[in-house]
Chains A and B, each alone.
Chain A
Amino acid sequence: MSKTDQLVQKLVRKHGKTRNSLMAVLQGVVQEERYLSEDAMIAVARELDLSAADVYGTASFYTFLDTIPRGKNIIRICKTITCHMKGKDEVLLALENMLKIKAGETTHDKMFTLLTVNCLGWCHKGPVMLVNDEVYTELTPQKAIEVIEEYSRK
């Protein structure tokens, strides 16, 4: 049995073999594997007795339940109005240059995925980004680069 299958079984045991557990199970997989692979969605479908399309359809509704491969660290830069006003374009550009990828892409070494997302709920402290679950506020291009450099070293 693959690692993914084991993970899914563990999550299903924890949260229960019901449809109501679907979100928690998917979140658990993403927590461990950063995204929902085809195998992971199939494993979830099998364990919860759902169709694979149904699992995919549900997952793809939610921005944080990625169904395409993601890097080890996912950077999500808020693109909504106040972060926009306070300079998220510059922050994004700085990180694009630093990582040599465009928003939506993943670095070759699979260390970073750079995404823009809708409001993260820190409008008074924009620009803001999430790296995985950690939040970084009042960014400048320089500060953002420093944060990401820190992650590269980890």
Chain B
Amino acid sequence: MSKYLVNLKINNIPVSVEEGTTILEAASRINFRIPTLCDHPDLNVAGNCRVCVVEVKGAKLLAAACATPVSEGMEVFTNSEKVRTSRKHIIELLLSEHNSDCTKCFKNGNCELQTLSSEYRIGDHVFLDLVKPKDKIQDISSPSIVKDDSKCIRCQRCVRTCTDLQAVSALAVINKGDQQKISTFLGKPLNEVVCTNCGQCVNRCPTGALTERSYIDEVWDAIYDPNKFVVVETAPAIRVALAEDLGFDPGLRVTGKLVSALKKIGFSKVLDTDFAADLTIIEEGTELLTRLKRALVDNDENIALPLMTSCSPAWIKFQEHIFPDLLNNLSSCKSPQQMFGALSKTYYADKINIKAQDMVVVSIMPCTAKKFEANRPEMRDSGYQDVDYILTTRELAMMIRQAGIDFEKLEDEKYDSILGESTGAAVIFGATGGVMEAALRTAYEIVTGNEVPFTNLNITPVRGMEGVREATIKIKNVKPEWSFLEGVDLNVAVAHGLANAKILMEKVQSGEANYHFIEVMGCPGGCLGGGGQPIPTSLEIRKKRAEAIYAEDEGMPLRKSHDNPEVVRLYKEFLGEANSHKAHDLLHTHYKPRKRY
């Protein structure tokens, strides 16, 4: 259905936009920026902060630009006297209920309220301070997320994120009037509710009300400790996003500079989670094929299919809370971060002659849930906590600035070896569909001896930003030992963002869907849109990061996980074969049902 064009004037400039366009969008088309706080490109319209109010000729009331559709002949003024006075009042009101200790705030310098306040030069507060002392007590119960109600401006972005994007609804608006606030169920601490630690709320919080739990100081302490050997690993999605937090446009790849910066910060070794991602593919691909064999050939009814990926800790916790009856479907593989940690303090420590207890493993993750994951009691298979500290992309950017490093001028450097080598298949773990694509590249080749039948290895049907994507791959010309798979249509599905995951899980539960393998990433866009990634986020930004990821893949000399020579060597020297006993001890885990309520 084609839409009508609507003609209107904004600040006396004529503009034609499609019917249904908001005043906010229409103004941006002609390069008038209207400030917003509650509005977010990923979320439904709220229209509650009111900073975007504009004057419409003939109307007695100002209109919220984010929530008001254009109409024919409308004349809008985005900066009239009335608008400016009201907008300033609204900012002042928000500041009056906001704990404005900006200099001490974790979000200092990346706070939308602070920016707005500075743009409008809100100096001395006209209004009375309304911050409630009890709201200044932060909730630090979660290893991932800190909630500070005294910084909250009630824009409800977090609630819409938690409910609409993530289908978790750990956060809700409670009470009304002056008592209204954002809360968990009965105000319980975050670590006692269904929160998956995904951090998507943190990504969208315009102020410092929701932030990651920061471990920067602990990491510096470890670096300064002469008795510690501090190893750092970097997740695939860091290299395509870090630059945004250091003043560059989205989509810039900075792998070499990232390595260089980490070395300059003082880490003993700079290694790559991508190595462990390749390893994951061998383990998980083998698990998939084994499950298929036991289900299809041995008719073993205890084998749960479809197999579901387990790299995303927010997705894991979601599943433990919401779909505990599907836990057997989850791959027993640990996430790459945790595989990396377990190997660092065993295989790697041996190789480089460092005692595991002297080793500190730091991982740079696009994720807040990873902080929780590393603290799970199951994640101590090396005999120690396998991964000690997790920093988000944002925290790393802060460390780079603290270290006085001129990021732009850095020369590219290479990851240390071993545990630094990786393939293009590992890099694409950072994008939704990437684990699926990497697994298919390897599994198909194991079974048939041939490369996947897609041009340039790019399995495009599982790529993209569609919430749920499906693909079917016909397996042909299999090797003799995989004859049961000859001619089989391998049905796969990919979901990203937990609301989409929920849709997919309901289909699996009802039996409506018949998949063999499902990839789920807890965050929109996959890890590149993770809760630890640079703020702001939007579909546009995530698409740019995805483009960068796929470009990185194409630029790699090796693009299939089983071609990673360090992985091959690891099996030869240490693990034996895929899914071996030793591999199970170190690289696999189990899940536990958690209460939904």
Contacts and interface: CB of A to CB of B under 8 A. Distances in A.
Contacts of A51: 163, 168-170, 172, 185, 194
Interface in A67-116: 67
A61 B176 CA distance: 5
B175 interface: yes
A41 B185 CA distance: 9
Contacts of B597: 42, 45-46, 52
Contact of A53 (B175, B176, B185): B185
A150 B130 CA distance: 43
A41 B186 CA distance: 10
A67 B173 contact: no
Contacts of B184: 53
A149 interface: no
A38 interface: yes
Nearest to A56: B185
A127 to B, nearest CB: 23
A54 interface: yes
A57 interface: yes
B406 to A, nearest CB: 45
Contact of B183 (A42, A50, A57): A57
A60 interface: yes
A53 B171 CA distance: 6
A61 B194 contact: no
B189 to A, nearest CB: 13
Nearest to A57: B172
B493 interface: no
B174 A38 contact: no
A67 B186 contact: yes
Contacts of A57: 172-174, 183
Interface string B73-86: 00000000000000
Interface residues of A, number: 16
B499 to A, nearest CB: 13
Most B C-beta atoms less than 10 A away, residue of A45, A57, A58: A57
Contacts of B163: 51, 54
A53 B182 CA distance: 10
A9 to B, nearest CB: 15
Contacts of B174: 56-57, 60-61
B193 interface: yes
B186 A54 contact: no
Interface in B185-239: 185-186, 193-194
Interface string B382-400: 0000000000000000000
Given A38-B186, A42-B597, A56 B176 contact: no
Nearest to A45: B597
A141 B173 CA distance: 39
A73 B596 CA distance: 33
A51 B183 CA distance: 13
Contacts of A56: 172, 174, 183, 185-186
A61 B186 contact: no
Nearest to A38: B186
Contacts of B168: 51
A60 B171 contact: no
Interface string B495-528: 0000000000000000000000000000000000
Contacts of A52: 185-186, 193-194, 597
B549 to A, nearest CB: 33
A38 B596 CA distance: 13
B141 to A, nearest CB: 15
Q: Which of A42, A50, A60, A67 lies at the interface centre, i.e. has the most chain B CB atoms within 10 A of its CB?
A: A60
Interface of A: 38, 41-42, 45-46, 50-54, 56-58, 60-61, 67
12 contacts: A38-B186, A46-B597, A50-B169, A51-B163, A51-B172, A51-B194, A52-B193, A53-B169, A53-B185, A56-B174, A56-B183, A61-B175
Given A53-B172, A58-B172, 17 more contacts: A41-B186, A42-B597, A51-B168, A51-B170, A51-B172, A51-B194, A52-B194, A53-B171, A53-B184, A54-B169, A56-B172, A56-B185, A57-B173, A57-B183, A60-B174, A60-B176, A61-B174
